[in-house]
A and B are shown apart, each in its own frame.
Chain A
Amino acid sequence: SAVISQKPSRDICQRGTSLTIQCQVDSQVTMMFWYRQQPGQSLTLIATANQGSEATYESGFVIDKFPISRPNLTFSTLTVSNMSPEDSSIYLCSVEVRLTDTQYFGPGTRLTVL
């Protein structure tokens, strides 16, 4: 498997502000995935982040709202911009560990927007 950390683990933010979530992996991975889990719901893919190229966003998610950086093979950030209460969710990053064909998840970031 892989050791994946996320910072912060939780935060309470004011409407209109932005929060950057960090995801760090203990090994080099090609793709990193960002998911959103709204309260009581399943996971929805926000975007796929490949090192050295622009992230690929799913329908309903745009770069201006959720900018993603992927500066190297072990690190990525997701920013939630101009937040509203509807952005209150758990945000999770995941990676596919090389040669395992399996995705492992970070511990998640619980975001509450007031």
Chain B
Amino acid sequence: AQTVTQSQPEMSVQEAETVTLSCTYDTSENNYYLFWYKQPPSRQMILVIRQEAYKQQNATENRFSVNFQKAAKSFSLKISDSQLGDTAMYFCAFMKHEGNTPLVFGKGTRLSVIA
């Protein structure tokens, strides 16, 4: 079975600064997908970024980037130029490569961006 661990229950960052959220996972699969989802107070789960395990290149989406270390089973999210709208719960998630399989979530990190 897969497990996902987020060791930082809460974090805060000053507006315009950079913050890194940590995620580690455990799996015996060789091919899989990793995701970061954002959940603001509206409770909508919003996809932030996606990484395919068989791609060595780290995914980036505008101000969001990941540091994917497959051997270490680590998948951290870096948010650059933090904005007040980035305040939310962030969940790291794992999905098997075979498709149409459920996500396995970490416990989440509550990020507060301070003006």
Chain A positions within 8 Å of B, measured between CB atoms, are 1, 30-31, 33, 37, 41-43, 45, 48, 90, 92, 94, 96, 101-105, 107-108, 110
Contacts and interface: CB of A to CB of B under 8 A. Distances in A.
A103 B99 contact: no
Interface of B: 33, 35, 37, 42-45, 47, 50, 52, 91, 95, 97, 99-100, 102-103, 105-108
A90 B103 contact: no
Per DSSP, are chain A's interface residues mostly helix, strand or loop, or mixed?
strand
A102 B47 contact: yes
Given A42-B108, A101-B33, A102-B50, A107 B103 contact: no
Given A48-B102, A90-B43, A101-B99, 7 more contacts: A43-B91, A43-B103, A96-B100, A101-B97, A102-B50, A103-B95, A107-B44
Nearest to A104: B47
Nearest to A100: B50
Q: In the complex, which of the residues B33, B37, B102, B107 has the most CB atoms of chain A within 10 Å of its own CB atom? A: B102
Q: In the complex, which of the residues B33, B97, B105, B107 has the most CB atoms of chain A within 10 Å of its own CB atom? A: B105
Q: In the complex, which of the residues B45, B47, B105 has the most CB atoms of chain A within 10 Å of its own CB atom? A: B45
A105 B106 contact: no
B25 to A, nearest CB: 14
A102 B35 contact: yes
